[in-house]
Amino acid sequence: MKEPEPRKRGARESADTTNLLRELVAHLRENRTQLREEWARRITEARLLTAMTEQEIFAEATSVYDNYVEALETETFETLQAYARNLSERIIPRGVETHEVVGIVLLLRDVLARSLFAKYQSDFQTLNRILDAYEPAANRIAITVAVGFVQERERTIREQQEAIRELSTPVLQVRERLLILPIIGVIDPQRARQLTEQLLRGIRTNRARVVVIDITGVAAMDSSVANHLVQTVEASRLLGATVIVTGLSPEIAQTLVNIGVDLIKMTTVGDLQGGIEEAERLLGYKVVLNAETRA
């Protein structure tokens, strides 16, 4: 029985808020030039957005301001969100940090709040009500922009990680039927899986018969990765390719022996050179040093 009452009050309140916001937006539109300049000045003062020139700051400040006012007016945040994404995309490569973006939005909030204080200083009641309407919307805007920036940055980071991962595991063809897979860096289970997939595809497309996996550049290996390596060797054999593993460091050798990985199934050679020589022997190549050039 009690339920309709708060809902009604809520509806009335929201209509009230909308009216107040309308008044607020009118105020912000009227004083656009002045407030915008004030804001841009304070951005420079606070030494935010140092990676950008003053003109750029002013141009961005103008669009942020207009988007801000629009978000207040319509109480929808989609346009602002899209704008925040777009802005982030442009400024992230220039090294703009999260605190700067959050900082400028909070500065704008403060500048506008200050102007509200100035306007309604004689009428405390109206000021209170208008701040009640303004503050939640302003906070929501600040959150929208900050989250948009962080999401954009995370997307950039993910893309870069993906690119690094792709680049970090090249499958190289040395001779007909001979592939080399140099592995450098840390192998986590995800990367190990990706490596295997890439290698198996490489074997198929290059019609490889021998593969040399060089792990000189791998500092450490845990048991799950070691087991994965053994699985890779076996999967390659099912495709008809022989795998030679080279460059096992003393530490990795010790780890593998300690955890009891089945080493019988792996062919290992000390270094990459030896591995390639062995691979060439398996393929029937014979490398002869030319006597003329030696002399």
Instruction: State the residues that interact with another protein by CB under 8 A.
Output: 196-197, 200-201, 203-204, 207-209, 231-232, 234-241
Distances, alpha carbon 295 to alpha carbons 18, 286, 287, 288, 292, in Å: 92, 21, 18, 14, 5
Smallest separation (angstroms) from another protein to the CB of 280: 17
8 Å CB contact between 21 and 29: no
Smallest separation (angstroms) from another protein to the CB of 261: 14
Nearest residue (CB) to another protein, 169 versus 232: 232
Nearest residue (CB) to another protein, 78 versus 234: 234
Q: Could you give the residue ranges of the DSSP H alpha helices within the chain?
A: 4-30, 32-45, 54-74, 78-91, 98-119, 124-167, 189-206, 223-238, 250-258, 272-283, 291-294
Nearest residue (CB) to another protein, 22 versus 237: 237
Nearest residue (CB) to another protein, 137 versus 225: 225
Distances, alpha carbon 95 to alpha carbons 44, 87, 161, in Å: 17, 13, 18
CA dihedral 231→237→239→241, nearest 10 degrees, is 120
User: How far is residue 158's CA from residue 164's CA, in Å, rounded to a whole number?
Assistant: 10
Token digits for 221? Answer: 């290996």
Smallest separation (angstroms) from another protein to the CB of 102: 46
Smallest separation (angstroms) from another protein to the CB of 199: 9
Smallest separation (angstroms) from another protein to the CB of 264: 11
Q: At residue 188, what is the residue type?
A: D
Smallest separation (angstroms) from another protein to the CB of 224: 12
Nearest residue (CB) to another protein, 151 versus 227: 227
Q: At residue 165, what is the residue type?
A: R
Nearest residue (CB) to another protein, 155 versus 209: 209
